[in-house]
Amino acid sequence: MKRIEAFFALIRAGLWGSEREDTLPEVALFEGATNEDWEALYRMAVSQTLVAIGFDGVQRLPVSCRPHRALYLQWAAKTAQVENANSKLNEMVKRVVQLCTSQTVHPVLLKGQAMAACYEVPLHRQCGDIDLFVGKADAKRTVQLLEEAGAKPSGEESYKHTCLEWEGIHIEIHRMVGRLNAPWSNYRMQRWVGEWYPQSICWRHEMPVPEQQFEAFFIFQHAFMHFLNSGIGLRQLCDWARLLYTHRQQLDISALEAQLRRMGLLRAAQVFGSLLVHQLGLPAAVIPFASAKRLALEQVLMDEIFSTGNFGQWDARITPRPKGYWSGKWHTFTRALRRCYTLYQFAPTEACFYPLVLIQGTLIIQYNRFKSKLLPHVHT
């Protein structure tokens, strides 16, 4: 069995479902598959956070070509867990959004459940946490509102967001949507956010989401930043594919291409887009700037995806992060430095400036920690 080819066939079938009869998996790929083959495909789905999507693909196979009973039942059980986790997260999103809007805060849901709404079966998009952008002016007030409602601080605060935990769900309150590494590109991105927030917030399945044109840029930008830093799984590419396809009638793809060029990300987007077309089955007409001329970089991207898994959590090439705070920071920094050198061709300016942004972020965190320790003594 050609496992990678078979895995993509399952993901295509699950990603598009009944919307696309042309994505039915090719039966010949699965004839004669051994238990070991199916175990390998299942592990791929787990590492790429595509368990339920992969299972949807399995469901589109003839019964004779499906995995053995024990694995099939295990896969079905994991899919049910994904559904339950999504239902729980959806309820929490409603609570948090209602809490914010009741206090005249304008929340915007980034990624996550906003992306799930673009899938044929929203509950099968494997979920993570809740990322909520509220702007710099309302960030502190929003954190206070959630803490008063029962949320607890969690993890280290960054220059972008504050982390909270509420009833077992991780919530990030964002002061900024995200950022680019090159200063001039980041300036353009932040200015773009200011042009649509809060007056042009959109709503999707009763969830506030970014203005659509910006969201189409942001979902790719966020995925690429993680790719440059530590790695990504196929779920992030599936999100971009589903968003572009679901809203293809509303999006101005020529304008998106122009923005990507201005931000220094067009070459990377062409490579990502090429993989969406060639491996995930996105119709080429939906993303015409995807370039078949970048096949060498597309192979690099695919190799990295299968080497690192979701957010780099499955990368066997790296040593464990040391337990010490500063040694851990140094471990993360040197790893990012090596990746920037290796992946330079995707977006040269972003790769060059990324180490500087990491240093800046660490300095800001340390300044805030020092200030929080100093202020109580100042007041006394």
Cβ(312)–Cβ(329) below 8 Å: no
Q: Answer yes or no: is pLDDT of 378 > 50.
A: no
Closest CA to 208 of 277, 105, 353: 105
- As to burial, measured by CB atoms within 10 angstroms (0-12 exposed, 13-18 middle, 19+ buried), residue 63 is exposed
Reduced to 3 states (helix: H, G, I; strand: E, B; else coil), residue 174 is strand
- The whole-angstrom separation of Cα 219 and Cα 111 is 7
**What pLDDT, in 10s, does the model give residues 61-84?**
999 999 999 999 999 999 999 999
- For residue 2, which amino acid is it? K
Q: Answer yes or no: is pLDDT of 350 > 80.
A: yes
- The whole-angstrom separation of Cα 148 and Cα 133 is 19
Give the long-range contacts of residues 278-281, CB within 8 A, separation 24 or more. 279/8, 279/12, 280/8, 280/11, 280/12, 280/15, 280/234, 280/237, 280/238, 280/241, 281/12, 281/15, 281/16, 281/20, 281/22, 281/23, 281/241
**What pLDDT, in 10s, does the model give residues 162-174?**
999 999 999 999 9
Reduced to 3 states (helix: H, G, I; strand: E, B; else coil), residue 105 is coil
Q: Answer yes or no: is pLDDT of 145 > 60.
A: yes
Give the domains, in start order, of the chain with CATH numbers.
1-67 (no CATH), 84-179+203-209 (3.30.460.40)
Question: What is the predicted pLDDT for the residue at 254?
Answer: 97
Q: Answer yes or no: is pLDDT of 364 > 80.
A: no
Question: What is the predicted pLDDT for the residue at 163?
Answer: 95
- What percentage of residues in the chain have a pLDDT greater than 90? 78
Averaged confidence pLDDT in the chain: 91
